[in-house]
Structure 1
Amino acid sequence: MKTVQKLLMLFTVVLALAGCSTLRTASDYDKNVDLNSYKTYNFYDKGIARVKLNNLDKRRLMAAVEAEMNAKGFTKADKPDLLVNLVVVAREKTDVYGPAYYGGWGWGGGWGWRGGWGWGGPNYVNQYIEGTIIIDFLDPAKKILFWHGQGSGFNLDNFSKREQRLYTGVKEILAQYPPNVVAAR
């Protein structure tokens, strides 16, 4: 019976952790800007220098943005129409799971049936660094920010399939550009 309870507890924790792995995205833009006028891009060097990631992840993030921008029909250029600024914000996060729910009837010690329902067992604590990836589009001629997208909920401590998760996160954020496509869905 204790083995079943432990398996049920483990399943509950795994299910809860899997539910927390989705990226929450949002975007905003300047409605007075003609988004169709932008055809070329490059990265905002000052912003890239401040990205708080190791160089390996920084290159992965930039490669993911390049892949998505190229897929959207943009061309990378030395004198671009728009600059891509990247920001990564990190904060410590703690999730607590438990105690678990248990219950049922069965044969107990002594004479007769025993049973009951209730809460019990240990708490499980998961501490990690949660990141928010911010992608801004800047107009270098007008010196304005005209599109802002972000995805929060990225577990920066998890190294499993990290490159794939970065690509997926960037794709989800940039799926909201241009905004008219999102409204038409």
Structure 2
Amino acid sequence: MKNLLKLLMLFTIGIAFVGCSSLRTVSDVDKDVNLSVYKTYNFYDKGLEKIRLNNLDKRRLMAAVETEMNLKGFTKADKPDMLVNLVVVARERADIYDSGFYGGLGWGWGGRWGWGFGGPWGGPAYVNQYQEGTIIIDFLDPAKKILFWHGRGAGFNLDNFAKREERLQQGVGEILKQYPNNGVTAK
């Protein structure tokens, strides 16, 4: 019975971690802008200076954006049609997992067989503290000085270093997947 409860608790914690690992993405586009005129890009330097990531992660994030932009058919240029602004916002998160009430079939008071429930005092609680990051990708028109597309992905665990490069690439891919197809042909 104890082993079953431990397995159930581990399963519940595993499901909770899987549920917390997905990136929540949203985007917004200026409907009055003709997206087909944008074929080249480069990074907005003033925005890069303000990113609060270490240099390794900053380069990883930029490489992930470059990869996705190239897959979408855009070309990096010195005098681009659009600038890519990157922002990373972090906040402290604490997830608490409590095993809660115990229950199930078993022997009860007076030697009776049946359903029973225990109290919350029976199981340990687990706390997972980490920095949750939100990655923001904005597309700016340098000639018109306007923002014409905004994409955001929230829920990136900044304290998890396992497969960090792959997770950044996947996260940027999920965000940029929301950019409307603008007629630029993929290479």
> Structure 2 length normalisation: TM-score?
0.89
State how far apart, in whole Å, the 1-side matches of 2:113 and 2:170 are.
53
Cα distance in 2 between the residues matched to 1:32 and 1:110: 76
Cα distance in structure 2, aligned partners of 1:165 and 1:149? 17
Q: Distance in 2 between matches of 1:22 and 1:119?
A: 32
Aligned 1:1-185 pairs, distance under 5 A: 1-107=1-107, 111-113=111-113, 115-120=115-120, 121-178=123-180
- CA deviations 1:3-52 (Å, max 9, x no partner) are 22122111111111111110000011111111100010000011011111
Query: 1:111–1:146: structure 2 CA closer, same or farther, 3 Å change rule?
Result: closer
Aligned residues with identical type, % of pairs: 72
- Please give the alpha-carbon distance, in whole angstroms, between the structure 2 residues aligned to 1:143 and 1:70: 23
Question: Which whole-Å CA distance do the structure 2 matches of 1:50 and 1:95 have between them?
Answer: 29
- Aligned-partner residue type, residue 116 of structure 1: G
Spell out, residue by residue over 1:71-128, the C-alpha distance to the aligned partner (whole angstroms, 9 max, x if none): 1110000000000000000000111121334222234698554750245312221111
Displacement of 1:135: 0.2
Q: 2:106·2:116 contact (CA, 8 Å) conserved in 1? A: no
Write the letter of the residue equivalent to 1:175.
Answer: K
Distance 2:182 2:150 in 1: 14
Structure 1 gaps of 5+ residues are: none
Deviates more, 1:120-129 or 1:47-56: 120-129
Q: Which moved more, 1:104-113 or 1:50-59?
A: 104-113
Q: Does 111-120 or 59-68 show the bigger shift?
A: 111-120
TM-score, normalization by structure 1: 0.90
Q: 2:76 & 2:182 partners in 1: Cα distance?
A: 23
Q: 1:16 to 1:119 in 2, by over 3 A?
A: farther
Indicate the SS of the match to 1:100: coil
Question: Where do 5+ consecutive residues of structure 2 fail to align?
Answer: none
SS of match in other structure, 1:89: strand
Partner SS state of residue 14, structure 2:
helix
Cα distance change, pair 32–115 in 1 and its aligned pair in 2 (3 A): closer
